[in-house]
């Protein structure tokens, strides 16, 4: 942090994204190789509830969600604040982007304003989350409507807009390919996911092979 440069930023970004992609690819390949057509949107749903290792993994997943939500809530709060200042209070963009002296700001009013927005976001998430038991569908929708546009479409469009070269130039082709790839994945993923949303989805459904394992264990204990 003390010697932050663009080269170091690019190196850290590539290492972190590469590591995340490797982990996600390994889990995806291993999960699909194991369950094939029975693979669920949330891979943990494929494992039986009497699997102690997977139950421990579910606990770790819950802890990671609890630790990640405040970070996501902070980003959402800042976006809501910016939108309110821009479209409701009609403040110019320059006042939103320029740095302000903390001594000149009214601390109590700013804290109360941020607190109210944070409570509204948390309460909205609390009200919406119990409405569905389909964690897999929620994760898929989050990936299609939020993660893919943020990771592929918006960065590519931003580069295309800022780069002075023509659209079909060699410099813009990677960004253009990134946008096309993100758009295709979003459209195809939505076409596959949306028809299945009307199906009955419950969190307490036990996979068939788990029932067979449970019945065989019970018969063994009986004998």
Q: What is the mean pLDDT of the chain?
A: 81
pLDDT of res. 105: 52
| 80 and 140 belong to one structural domain | no
Q: CB neighbours of 38 closer than 8 A, spacing ≥ 6?
A: 46, 207
Give the number of domains in the chain.
3
* Alpha carbons 123 and 135: distance in angstroms, whole number: 19
- For residue 22, give the DSSP letter: H
Does residue 34 fall inside a structural domain? yes
Alpha helices in the chain (DSSP H): 6-35, 52-83, 93-97, 107-128, 135-142, 148, 154-162, 173-193, 208-222
Does residue 117 fall inside a structural domain? yes
Does residue 221 fall inside a structural domain? no
For range 152-158, the mean pLDDT? 91
Q: What is the pLDDT of residues 87-124, one digit of tens each?
A: 777 766 555 555 555 445 555 556 787 888 899 998 99
| 126 and 158 belong to one structural domain | no
| 122 and 160 belong to one structural domain | no
Does residue 36 fall inside a structural domain? yes
Q: What is the pLDDT of residues 66-79, one digit of tens each?
A: 888 888 888 888 88
| 54 and 127 belong to one structural domain | yes
Q: Let me know: does 113 contact 68? Beta carbons within 8 Å.
A: no
Q: Could you tell me the pTM of the whole model?
A: 0.62
| 119 and 139 belong to one structural domain | no
**19: containing domain:** 11-44
Does residue 215 fall inside a structural domain? no
Q: Let me know: does 80 contact 115? Beta carbons within 8 Å.
A: no
Longest distance between any two alpha carbons in the chain, whole Å = 79
| 156 and 115 belong to one structural domain | no
* Alpha carbons 203 and 223: distance in angstroms, whole number: 32
End-to-end CA distance of the chain: 65
Q: Let me know: does 157 contact 179? Beta carbons within 8 Å.
A: yes
Residue 109, phi then psi, degrees to nearest 5? -65, -40
Q: How far is the CA of 116 from the CAs of 43, 96, 97, 105, 112, in angstroms?
A: 36, 19, 22, 18, 6
Q: Let me know: does 156 contact 179? Beta carbons within 8 Å.
A: yes
Residue 134, phi then psi, degrees to nearest 5? -85, 80
Centre a 10 Å sphere on the Cβ of residue 70 and count the other Cβ atoms it contains. 10
Q: Using CA of residue 128, residue 134, residue 137, residue 139, what is the dihedral sign?
A: positive
Judge whether residue 19 has pLDDT over 90: yes
| 162 and 87 belong to one structural domain | no
Any idea which residue has 């490797």 for tokens? 22
Among 48-62, 102-116, 134-148, whose mean pLDDT is lowest? Answer: 102-116
pLDDT of res. 217: 57
């Amino acid at each position: 942090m003390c010697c932050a440069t663009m080269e170091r930023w690019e190196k850290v970004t590539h290492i972190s994204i590469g590591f995340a992609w490797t982990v996600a690819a390994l889990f995806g390949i291993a999960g699909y190789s194991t369950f094939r057509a029975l693979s669920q949107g949330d891979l943990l749903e494929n494992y039986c509830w009497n699997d102690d290792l997977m139950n421990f993994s579910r606990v770790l997943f819950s802890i990671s969600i609890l630790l990640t939500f405040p970070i996501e809530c902070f980003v959402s709060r800042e976006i809501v604040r910016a939108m309110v200042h821009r479209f409701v209070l009609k403040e110019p963009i320059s006042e939103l982007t320029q740095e302000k002296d903390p001594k000149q700001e009214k601390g109590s009013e700013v804290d109360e304003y941020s607190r109210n927005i944070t409570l509204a976001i948390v309460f909205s998430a609390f009200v919406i989350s119990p409405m569905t038991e389909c964690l897999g569908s929620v994760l898929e929708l989050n990936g299609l409507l939020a993660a893919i546009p943020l990771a592929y479409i918006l960065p590519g469009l931003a580069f295309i807009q800022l780069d002075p070269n023509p659209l079909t130039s060699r410099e813009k082709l990677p960004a253009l390919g990134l946008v096309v790839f993100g758009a295709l994945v979003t459209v195809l993923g939505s076409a596959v996911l949306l028809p299945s949303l009307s199906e009955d989805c419950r969190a307490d459904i036990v996979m068939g092979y788990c029932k067979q394992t449970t019945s065989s264990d019970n018969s063994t204990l009986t004998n």
